[in-house]
Structure 1
Amino acid sequence: MDATTEPYLIISSDCHAGPPTEEYRPYLDARFHRDFDEFLAGQDRRRAEMTRLGIRNEAFADRWFHDNEEGLRGGWDPARRLKELDGDGVAAEVVFPDADAVDSRTAAPFGVGLGLSGDHDPDLGMAGAQAHNRWLAEFVGEHPQRHRGVALLPVTAPTDRVVAEVYRAKESGLGALMIPAMWVDKEPYHDRRYDPVWAAAAECAMPVLTHSGAAPRHEYGDHLGIYVSEVTWWPARPLWFLLWSGVFERHPGLRFGVAESGCWWLPNLLWFMDRLYLGAHGGKKLSPFAGLRRPPHEYLDRQVFVCATNTKRRELAQRYEIGVDNILWGSDFPHPEGTWPDTRAWLARTFHDIPVAETRRMLGLAAAEVFGFDTGRLAPLAKRIGPTPADLGQSGDQRAVEASWARSREVGRHWLTDHDFPALGVNP
């Protein structure tokens, strides 16, 4: 079996797990139990408010839970989870919090899951994060070769406690760190107070990620379209804070990722930042490059990745600007906006004309390198459950497929290759 016919090793870079919220109690320090009871008591009120704002569609919720009742148990049941992953052809996964993205029935204590933000009370935020991290370490420990748990890290809390949680999470078997996308009234991520955290993450080889979820919802009123338009911007924002302030230069071993925010925004951002650094006319009066020794695209390729959940055709068409190895596909299991339970058909619709070698990178091999999965241990499983290139409609002549993308690959990052921008016929 050659590389054009063997099944794909698929790793989802964005999945979710968490027990029904009340089951976090044994993992929470006892001194926070009274606060936890108050948090639980407010769940119905918060759910009603979500419905009023349009964040929760009651008819959709009823249908979703009815149609997927068994599979949704995979959000916290390890055996059921493996059955769902196998059905999707997914050999391994990166596990974020909050399995239930419809009714929030699996919310981490005090709302520190996908809503983790710098406005959380430092004590409650750290307590809730540690409770989830303890539960998650047990959960992924059932089958560690197939899961990388993402520890919640309230990075805006006192630095010594944050650094201690990095090491504790690493020792417990977790493999990555999720920080708030919003620091709110705390120090932004260019502040040197965070350097010990970045250093600890690099030392532990734990990638640091943001994930869509948190946003200043109090500003949006009843206009949900505003939230939808901005929710993927907030997780991306720390990227340029870390890059321009020299964090990536000072900590070359730090890996940073943006999850479930697409990657459609990255080509134009990278073009803009590179042009500034390389001396574009509009930036000549500025001096924004203190501490940077290389152009932004080099930091991106060395240290940044995008967990491009439910990757779109438009984004794949831009992969030579983004960087094929910088795109990590994700299923978002078990969230309804993801590809589960129809992942195999979705992959065929999306990757049917993408070269097999590039597909292997984006569907699994790049994620294996970022998150440290053992591809040798996963290979027998992938051969059993993984879809083949033929299953994805890629059974045609690979030379012809490669040739069809030759021009796009040659142009690549057009501002660096001195080729015309394809859509305009000019080199802006």
Structure 2
Amino acid sequence: MDTHETLPQIISVDDHTVEPPEVWQDRLPAKYRDTGPRIVRAPVKRMTFVGGKFAPEMGAPGDDGPLADWWVYEDLHRPLTRLDTAVGCSRDEIRLEGITYEQMRPGSFSVPERLADMDVNHVQSALCFPTFPRFCGQTFTEAKDRELGLLGVRAYNDWMVEEWCGPQSRGRLIPLTLIPLWDPELAAAEVRRNAARGVRAVCFSEIPPHLGLPGIHTDHWDPFLRACDETGTVVAMHIGSSSRMPSTSADAPPAVGSTITFANCCFSMVDWLMSGKFDRFPNLRIMYAEGQIGWIPYILERADIVWQENRAWGGVAEKVLRPPSELFADHVYGCFFDDAFGLKNLDAIGVGNVLYETDYPHSDSTWPRSRQVAEEQMGHLPADVVERLVRGNAIELLGLTGEGLWGASAPEG
């Protein structure tokens, strides 16, 4: 990029929202308000994150321990933590600890403050993943009451479309919805319901069997995938959307998992490339949020070799009709926020298959320096390539206006 060029405004395809306390209480039928998701302020008795497993324990009123705001839903007690929203804190202040809404940056949960923080960060528009539902709605999938779970999914989607991405966002917040993962027909119906109001992206699990669900090599998910194919809805998979972050042992410190967070994306992408789904659903598009991109070239090289040399016994000869690298070029998008190595090998990935993100408000976020990070890492690239990475590809993939904004009146398909 010419140093005299101005970096185009960023469209981030992976930010996060911390849901306000009233999202479900305002939308669920009265009979569910005592069992549906609600916020309770209580002490943190203990909390660990070892071997990729998060284990918090809520204290009783009057117990010793720092206070936090907890999501309570059926038997689930889940605190808000500093890792949910770390922007504005120094690196040495970012610890695994419970917090309250007053202790987080307001842009985490408030639209006006979010837009202001986007302005500071040279971000025009942003697609936001959930927090309490987890990255693909696992919270509702694991719940006992399926009727309440479905209502919870729909309530979140209504809040996402009508409030978070409503008129006050001025088209700058792009909706990303959930599905009831336990029923592919219900999932398809929810995709179509939201596509009819302009939604073009839906959360899904990177590795469904880790959630106790069928894998994508079966036909179980076909109703859901058909709905995405027919409505132009992108399947968005965030690291951790299988509820199992990569780790090496039960006693491995979080730094191990944080270093290899891309691994699930790697495994998942190979799954999709070897599944035959892209030949069956030619309009299907998938994206990997927060997976970075530097690992992609070798995986494509290896997948092509396996497809060519081992397909007679590898179980793909009849269903994977083109080299995996060609399928990747037409159907898969990698997302990054800090990957200088990947950008140096962009020609082996494909300019059209890369999207930019800022990860606000998480601890890995480049906020408020996303513009500077992009300029430093993309300085060797032509201006037209930079424009595609930081906004052009996202506009095309998510069906945004030419100005990079979302409009609920976008046509279906």
Task: Specify if TM > 0.5.
Answer: yes
More strand by proportion, 1 or 2?
2
User: Aligned to 2:138, what secondary structure does the other structure show?
Assistant: coil
User: Aligned to 2:270, what secondary structure does the other structure show?
Assistant: helix
Q: Distance in 2 between matches of 1:209 and 1:46?
A: 35
Greater alpha carbon shift after TM alignment, 230-239 vs 134-143 = 230-239
Q: Is 1:10 matched up with 2:21?
A: no
Contact 1:262-1:311 at 8 Å conserved across structures: yes
- CA apart distance, 1:365: 0.4
- CA apart distance, 1:338: 1.2
* C-alpha distance after superposition, 1:33-69 (max 9, x if no partner): 33336x7569855972349989778962479999x98
Q: Which residue of 53, 74, 91 maps to 2:124?
A: 91
Q: Which residue of 252, 276, 293 maps to 1:223?
A: 252
Q: Which residue of 118, 121, 124 maps to 2:143?
A: 121
User: Aligned to 2:316, what secondary structure does the other structure show?
Assistant: coil
The equivalent of 2:374 in structure 1 is 347
User: Aligned to 1:203, what secondary structure does the other structure show?
Assistant: helix
Contact 1:267-1:321 at 8 Å conserved across structures: yes
Contact 2:395-2:402 at 8 Å conserved across structures: yes
The equivalent of 2:48 in structure 1 is 49
Q: 1:302 to 1:224 in 2, by over 3 A?
A: same
Contact 1:256-1:303 at 8 Å conserved across structures: yes
Contact 2:165-2:173 at 8 Å conserved across structures: yes
Q: Distance in 1 between matches of 2:248 and 2:27?
A: 34
Contact 1:154-1:179 at 8 Å conserved across structures: no
Q: Is 1:134 matched up with 2:163?
A: no
Contact 1:9-1:365 at 8 Å conserved across structures: no
The equivalent of 1:305 in structure 2 is 333
Q: Distance in 2 between matches of 1:191 and 1:85?
A: 41
Aligned-residue RMSD, C-alpha: 3.6
Q: 1:65 to 1:301 in 2, by over 3 A?
A: same
User: Aligned to 2:213, what secondary structure does the other structure show?
Assistant: coil
The equivalent of 1:169 in structure 2 is 194
Q: 1:41 to 1:205 in 2, by over 3 A?
A: same
Q: Distance in 2 between matches of 1:13 and 1:336?
A: 17
* C-alpha distance after superposition, 1:119-154 (max 9, x if no partner): 623725534332321211121122353222110224
Greater alpha carbon shift after TM alignment, 350-359 vs 18-27 = 18-27
Q: Distance in 2 between matches of 1:220 and 1:373?
A: 43
The equivalent of 1:19 in structure 2 is 19
- Extract structure 1 runs of 4+ deviating beyond 6 A: 51-59, 62-66, 68-71
Q: 1:242 to 1:92 in 2, by over 3 A?
A: same
Q: Distance in 2 between matches of 1:114 and 1:353?
A: 36
Q: 1:204 to 1:74 in 2, by over 3 A?
A: same
Q: Distance in 2 between matches of 1:286 and 1:7?
A: 45
1:306 counterpart letter in structure 2: G
Q: Distance in 2 between matches of 1:136 and 1:46?
A: 32
Q: Report matched runs for 1:30-41 at 5 Å.
A: 30-36=30-36, 40=39
The equivalent of 2:324 in structure 1 is 296
- CA apart distance, 1:339: 0.8
Q: Distance in 2 between matches of 1:251 and 1:267?
A: 24
User: Aligned to 1:198, what secondary structure does the other structure show?
Assistant: helix
The equivalent of 2:234 in structure 1 is 207
- CA apart distance, 1:188: 0.6
The percentage of aligned residue pairs carrying the same residue is 24
Q: Distance in 2 between matches of 1:20 and 1:52?
A: 30
- State the TM-score, normalized to the length of structure 1: 0.73
Contact 1:117-1:181 at 8 Å conserved across structures: no
The equivalent of 1:76 in structure 2 is 109
Contact 1:177-1:209 at 8 Å conserved across structures: yes
Q: 1:253 to 1:113 in 2, by over 3 A?
A: same
Q: Which residue of 146, 154, 160 maps to 2:172?
A: 146
Unpaired runs of at least 5, structure 2 = 55-80, 84-91, 406-413
Contact 1:153-1:177 at 8 Å conserved across structures: yes
1:362 counterpart letter in structure 2: L
1:239 counterpart letter in structure 2: M
Q: 1:120 to 1:220 in 2, by over 3 A?
A: farther
Contact 1:10-1:91 at 8 Å conserved across structures: yes
Q: Distance in 2 between matches of 1:358 and 1:29?
A: 49
Q: Which residue of 325, 328, 333 maps to 2:355?
A: 328
* C-alpha distance after superposition, 1:311-333 (max 9, x if no partner): 31111112111111111010111
Q: Is 1:262 matched up with 2:283?
A: no
Contact 2:47-2:97 at 8 Å conserved across structures: no
More helix by proportion, 1 or 2?
1
Q: Distance in 1 between matches of 2:265 and 2:119?
A: 30
Q: Which residue of 249, 262, 274 maps to 2:279?
A: 249
Contact 2:94-2:363 at 8 Å conserved across structures: no
2:200 counterpart letter in structure 1: G
Q: Distance in 2 between matches of 1:152 and 1:362?
A: 26
Q: Distance in 2 between matches of 1:179 and 1:265?
A: 21
Q: Distance in 2 between matches of 1:242 and 1:71?
A: 37
Unpaired runs of at least 5, structure 1 = 99-106, 379-428
User: Aligned to 1:177, what secondary structure does the other structure show?
Assistant: strand
Contact 1:14-1:260 at 8 Å conserved across structures: yes
Q: 1:28 to 1:171 in 2, by over 3 A?
A: farther
* C-alpha distance after superposition, 1:188-223 (max 9, x if no partner): 112112111111112221101110124436995342
- State the TM-score, normalized to the length of structure 2: 0.76
Q: 1:215 to 1:54 in 2, by over 3 A?
A: closer
Contact 1:220-1:227 at 8 Å conserved across structures: no
